[in-house]
Amino acid sequence: MFKIGCHLSSSGGYLAMGKEAVRIGANAFQFFTRNPRGGAAKPLDLNDIKAFEDYRKENDILSVLAHAPYTMNACAKDEGLREFAKNTMLDDIMRLDNIEGAMYNFHPGSHLKQISEDECLALISESINIALEKTSGVTAVIENTAGQGTNLGFTFEQIAQIISKVDDKSRVGVCIDTCHAYAA
């Protein structure tokens, strides 16, 4: 079965997103885990998640894909920026562990001409490993980039190098953004 959906606002919670997906004829949807420019996530509402999971089963919502904030850079030279990325990824994936089969989509990062590409790709893998080791059900999904500036993840070789260093390959995937691929 095809999974068809779109990006929805998370402002009303999971159940509201599920209802909007069904209203527009979608069986999948994506949302930002927090403000796309970073910052704190809203407190988890476990009652909303339970209501969503019940609604989801009744309405054949097949996939839930959360998108990380754009400001995450797991391979920044600055340790503070790397810690923000690691902590955000871990926090988001821990939250998503409450949603059956959830996926976590993120852009790999940017070397900013401050460290080598190989070192950057290893740091991205390290962040994925930390998050997956502390969670159980979410799949980390690497989204290809358009390759502007010093962004990484715009070649299949770069994505393969990240995946090669991920310990639990059963919980890592790739999202091919066709617009990004065309631009790259």
Tens-digit pLDDT profile for residues 65-87? 999 999 899 999 999 999 999 99
Strand partners, 117: none
Percent of the chain whose pLDDT exceeds 70: 99
Q: Bigger pLDDT: 14 or 179?
A: 14
Nearest in space to 14 (alpha carbons), one of 53, 40, 62? 53
Asked if residues 152 and 184 have their Cβ atoms less than 8 Å apart, the reply is no
Q: How confident is the model at residue 181 (pLDDT cuts 50, 70, 90)?
A: confident
Q: Above 80 in pLDDT, residue 38?
A: no
For the CA atoms of 169, 50, 37, 176, what is the dihedral angle to 10 degrees?
40
Report the sign of the C-alpha dihedral through residues 164, 165, 168, 172, in that order: negative
Percent of the chain whose pLDDT exceeds 90: 84
Q: What is the mean pLDDT of the chain?
A: 94
